[in-house]
Copies of this chain bind each other. A is one copy, B any other.
């Protein structure tokens, strides 16, 4: 039986990324699911190396329980929800939303210890957030995602299962200089010649970079109603308010706008990662245009293009994870940092502090 290590493996890395370990802080909100994935039909999902079942009560309240019946360990997700009780598929034991057993079909009394852990959930925008750590330590809300369901925005979103540690994705989305290489044929935004400026605003990592006029990535033109090849000025701004989520704002300035016409546009990428099992991550993404009423046809095309580009990341990160896992040297291999790693290095600093705080606290 493997115990969670709650730590980072030492290697040749200055601050290890922990990619082969359990490197997941517990006392924070992680994304459990898209809101519409959680229904009256139970959903089984590994979250932070625990099997969890997610479902919704008749009044719409979402519920998360350990997905192991405390009797003979059947996955509750194989059962059904009846009268707001989840019924174990094996012997029919029933559990309420608090995880307490309410009925054993073959006997009158319910053993008092018959209960499973229930996890706090909160919904914001398109997403359901879960707190897997000590519920006493909940001291803030999940990041506000209301814009993702705001009719003034047009949104595409999705979920990719990636066989790589979450930090690899986190670093990937916070260093966009890779777009010029890995995504040369998809994003086609090759003007990342310098690293962005990176600062901390409290605990939030922030990067900013201005780009002179150049053709906007074809991934985003249709969403704004631009023709392909539209030349714009851009300010790229990224924010990571939590290890679980970061935003990537493409602030677009139409340099050819006629007087009185709209000049400034924004497409906000959002990158949400949730550790699943060792070396496996749920990656929820959304791209939101601050333009209402984009047609389904345009959104579907945009989503297909974005997924195509993100699959380039997925393929490479999975190759990295697999190769490092199979290489007997593991993390004991040189790892240098570049100027473009300003945000990524801060991710590791934040992570290291958080893991140490949980270990000591």
Binding site for B on A (CB under 8 A): 1-4, 9, 11, 20, 22, 46, 49-51, 67-68, 70-75, 78, 87-92, 104-107, 111, 113-116, 168, 171, 175, 177-178, 180-182, 192-195, 277, 316, 319-320, 323-324, 326-340
Contact = CB atoms under 8 A, between A and B. Distances in A.
A323 B90 CA distance: 15
Nearest to A112: B336
A71 B20 contact: no
Contact of A75 (B71, B92, B193, B320): B320
Contact of A73 (B1, B115, B324, B326): B324
A277 B323 CA distance: 11
The 3 closest A-B pairs by CB, nearest first: A1-B330, A92-B181, A70-B334
Contacts of A336: 70-71, 111, 113-114
A137 B107 CA distance: 43
B178 A68 contact: no
Contacts of A178: 90-91
B327 A50 contact: yes
Contacts of A182: 89-90
28 contacts: A1-B11, A1-B20, A1-B332, A4-B328, A50-B327, A50-B329, A70-B334, A70-B335, A71-B335, A71-B336, A72-B168, A73-B324, A89-B181, A89-B182, A90-B182, A91-B338, A92-B180, A105-B177, A105-B181, A105-B193, A106-B177, A106-B193, A106-B338, A106-B339, A106-B340, A113-B336, A114-B336, A277-B326
A75 B68 CA distance: 39
A336 B49 CA distance: 23
Contacts of A73: 320, 323-324, 333, 335
A316 B74 contact: yes
